[in-house]
Amino acid sequence: MQLKQNFSLQPYHTFRTAVFAKEFATFSSLEQLAELLDYAKQQPTLILGGGSNILFTKNFDGLVLKNELKGITLIKEDADYYYVKAAAGEVWHQFVLYCIEKQYNGIENLSLIPGLVGACPMQNIGAYGVEIKDIFYALSAYHIKEKKMVNFTLQDCAFGYRESVFKGKYKNQFVITDVTFRLSKQPTFNISYGAIEQALQSMQITTLSAKAISDAVIHIRSSKLPNPHELPNAGSFFKNPVISITQFEEIKKEHTSLTGYQENNELIKISAAWLIEKCGWKGCRKNDVGCHTKQALVLVNYGNATGTEIVDFSEGIINDVKNKFNITLQREVNII
């Protein structure tokens, strides 16, 4: 067990704010994890993955544990599916590319999402018409207090829009150690959401495949989302709001450009980026905090912004959207 004191977290989260952990360690086995959690006892403990969905507003007065569990295994297959287990410390995008190369289908729309495998079920990550719940089979997690492994099924996780039991009912009670995905042998391509079809045409791709869709998604994301290694950010800062059809129709009377994706007979999901842009925030900057020029959903750190400054900036966006549209945006990024 190697512990480091007063350790800089700046390289370990994609907003790159200058914060420190009282203590820091990595774990690459379940035995190391158990030992470190036992050492931590009652002090605050944070499990850190890729740091791509987190915003530190202050130093962390406790122990930060960096997840470095590795390994990808095909555990079984049947007539229709491959069941692929990935350790929580695997880089998500590299895992997606691995599955595409092996012709494990259904994961391709989730290309180039930052972070590690262990974080994906926590908030049911999703993009371009696909969410983790659509390809999820099971996961294993270590119960911190009871010091034992627990298995979770799809139903156990209670996935919702960017939600799961690990963000609510079981928050801070488990450490996800591996996730098993159910991936199709026969591909069913999903190109109706977002600009995938348009990207395929512009790239002159005429034959559909998982790799082709992945390439299109990578092209789209790279063209409009800033690389966090070049311009620190945490991707989508806000969730896309889900509103009633009645409210949607009222807004559309005045703003005919509004579009939405119907969730059910009563609810429609609309673009948070569209709302933010209509409130004039796209491209805005205050000191070293800004709203990205190409994607209003992304807040960026232009240099030396603090976490508090980023939160305050986001609060201004929330207030303006509430005042103009009577919609309260919810942050997708975890504030610490």
**The 3-state secondary structure of the chain, one letter per residue:** CCCEEEEECHHHCCCCCCCEEEEEEEECCHHHHHHHHHHHCCCCEEEECCCCCEECCCCEEEEEEEECCCCEEEEEECCCEEEEEEECCCEHHHHHHHHHHCCCECCHHHCCCCCEHHHCCCCCCEECCEEHHHHEEEEEEEECCCCEEEEEEHHHHCCECCECCCCCCCCCCEEEEEEEEEEECCCCCCCCCCCHHHHHHHCCCCCCCHHHHHHHHHHHHHHHCCCCCCCCEEEECECCCEEEHHHHHHHHHHCCCCCEEECCCCEEEECHHHHHHHCCCCCCEECCEEECCCCCCEEEECCCCCHHHHHHHHHHHHHHHHHHHCCCCCECCEEC
236: annotated active-site residue? yes
Identify the active-site residue in 111, 236, 314, 331.
236
331: annotated active-site residue? no
Identify the active-site residue in 23, 108, 131, 332.
332
162: annotated active-site residue? yes
Identify the active-site residue in 162, 182, 221, 331.
162
Classify residue 40 as exposed, middle or buried by CB count within 10 Å of its CB (0-12, 13-18, 19+). Answer: middle
Q: Are 84 and 179 contacting, i.e. CB atoms less than 8 angstroms apart?
A: no
Say how many residues make up the chain: 336
Q: Cβ contacts of residue 39 below 8 Å, gap of 6+?
A: 1, 3, 63
> In Å, what is the CA distance from 261 to each residue of 124, 248, 279?
18, 11, 21
Give the residue numbers annotated as catalytic, written as ranges. 162, 236, 332
